[in-house]
Structure 1
Amino acid sequence: MSPPRVACLIPAYNEAARIEGVLSVVLDHPAIDRVLVVDDGSTDGTAAVAQAAGAEVLALPRNGGKTAAVAAGIAALEARWILMLDSDLQGLDRAAVSALLAPVLRGEAEVAISLRSNAPLLWRLIGLDYISGERVLPRAQIARQGPALAALPRFGLEVFLNRLWIAEGCRVAVVRWPGVASPPKARKRGLWRGIRADLAMLADIFRTIPAPEALHQIRALRRLSRGPLPEPRHQPG
């Protein structure tokens, strides 16, 4: 039996209050064959909420960060394509998921990346959020990067994937998600803890790549993309 076409991978840490909304969209999506939540050592019952919703859950014994959670999920999945989603998305619907998958499933692009409604204004103006966590990519592309993933800091994954896509010359589809947002960390954790979390994420990014490479990645990904695709139309259900 051939592996599934599309597996959805959702790394999650203390998202019991939000993950059910994401799962309600992807668990019955006709293009998604398997949904795996990697619970990254949560202490708030995230794993139990995901299991109750009907998702497969891989529970990690301790919090290791997003990169480690994604690496564990990739190792546990078999599929042709991986749909990576953050676990705290708000406003996600079937149309948005379909729009992100469509360019890859139709063979119009090798990979896809979202442009959410609350991405920083600059990213929306240039038509690219280069550190978006919502992506579609071939499983084989990331699965063979096991040793490199293990060496990354907790939040170095997105810029690592950018570097990989640029090196391989992937055709990139940028998909606007006008109704989808990711809540700021300050709203979820409180102002000062949220600021510290954002600073820690930025530090991990620039431990993974030097600051000048971030600008290079933005320019290169824009060259490899066709620009943001039309906004998805709402689909019921």
Structure 2
Amino acid sequence: MTARAPLRRPPRISCVICAYNEAPRIAAVLAVACTHPLLDEIIVVDDGSTDGTAEIVKGFSSVQLIRCTENQGKSAAMAVGIAAAQGELLMLLDADLKGLTAADISALALPVLQGSAQVSLSLRQNSLLAFRAIGLDFVSGERVVRKTLLSEVLQDVHGLPRFGIEVFMNRRIVVRRLPIAVTHWPHVTQARKTEKLGYWKGIRAEWRMIVDLLKAVYPLALISQTFQMLRLRIDHGSRASFAARIRKVPDSPR
């Protein structure tokens, strides 16, 4: 009788969440992430918050909290979290998501765990209309990637503009021609800056973020990058048998 080959252990996933003054919102994200069996560790990088973000995070005993003394921006905070991560895969989540469920996290992780894609990106209900029209949100903060995509260049990540991490990551994805799975999250939204800060402060914050994007990549290069990512997008479907084989994944009701 031929010996059956042992099942390969699925890659470990480290979930990294960067947060700045997200006390009213981060608990809802952590409540889902901390109980999900596909996530081996949860790391929250508190990027110099002045509200009660750190105190909220401390209420989740399984979360590794890293506190930065000053607010340096998402790119630098992400580099700190990646350096601390132990998994082969990274799941990057924003701290201000609303409506996130265990099923959404499973859907984001499975294309990469299955090997059908090397990168998974979310497409939220309130992603910009243009992104929903083309079927790709190139600045999505919710992603699954291999840690080596970024751990090899952490010094460069530290030097990025405050909100340059996504387009920097995109550049590396395009150069390596990594297949991308787009995971639709039709019931998940992200809190807008106008909602957090008020209308005028929120608008200014949105413009500062756009300026940071343009510092990281020129406008024409940004358009080219988006089309190149679209060419790397693949069709994918969830395979329940695979999910059941690696771990029992809960499906939260909506």
The two structures share one fold, judged by TM-score above 0.5: yes
Aligned to 1:106: 114
Aligned to 2:168: 160
Q: Post-superposition shift, 1:24?
A: 0.5
Whether the aligned pair in 1 keeps the contact of 2:27 and 2:56 (CA below 8 Å) is: yes
AA of the residue aligned to 1:174: V
Larger radius of gyration between Structure 1 and Structure 2: 2
Aligned to 1:81: 89
Q: Post-superposition shift, 1:227?
A: 4.9
Q: Post-superposition shift, 1:56?
A: 1.4
Structure 1: give runs of 5+ residues left out of the alignment.
none
Whether the aligned pair in 2 keeps the contact of 1:109 and 1:173 (CA below 8 Å) is: yes
Is 1:21 paired with 2:28? yes
Is 1:212 paired with 2:220? yes
Aligned to 1:130: 138
1:123-202 map, 5 Å: 123-202=131-210
User: Equivalent of 1:117, from 117, 121, 125?
Assistant: 125
Q: Post-superposition shift, 1:4?
A: 6.8
Q: Which moved more, 1:143-152 or 1:113-122?
A: 143-152
TM-score (norm 1): 0.95
How far apart, CA to CA, are the structure 1 residues paired with 2:135 and 2:253? Answer: 27
Whether the aligned pair in 2 keeps the contact of 1:4 and 1:34 (CA below 8 Å) is: no
Aligned to 1:33: 40
- 2:161 is paired with a residue whose SS is coil
Whether the aligned pair in 1 keeps the contact of 2:10 and 2:113 (CA below 8 Å) is: no
- 1:85 is paired with a residue whose SS is strand
The alpha-carbon distance between structure 1 residues 129 and 227, as it changes in their structure 2 partners (threshold 3 A), is farther
Q: Post-superposition shift, 1:147?
A: 2.0
How far apart, CA to CA, are the structure 2 residues paired with 1:63 and 1:123? Answer: 29
Aligned to 2:243: none
Structure 2: give runs of 5+ residues left out of the alignment.
1-8, 239-249
Q: Post-superposition shift, 1:115?
A: 0.3
- 1:149 is paired with a residue whose SS is helix
- 1:42 is paired with a residue whose SS is coil
Is 1:91 paired with 2:99? yes
Q: Which moved more, 1:46-55 or 1:116-125?
A: 46-55
Aligned to 2:246: none
User: Equivalent of 1:68, from 73, 76, 87?
Assistant: 76
Runs of 4+ in 1 over 2 A off after TM superposition: 227-230, 233-237
- 1:132 is paired with a residue whose SS is coil
User: Equivalent of 2:19, from 2, 12, 17?
Assistant: 12
Q: Post-superposition shift, 1:166?
A: 0.1
Q: How many correspondences in the alignment?
A: 235
How far apart, CA to CA, are the structure 2 residues paired with 1:191 and 1:126? Answer: 28
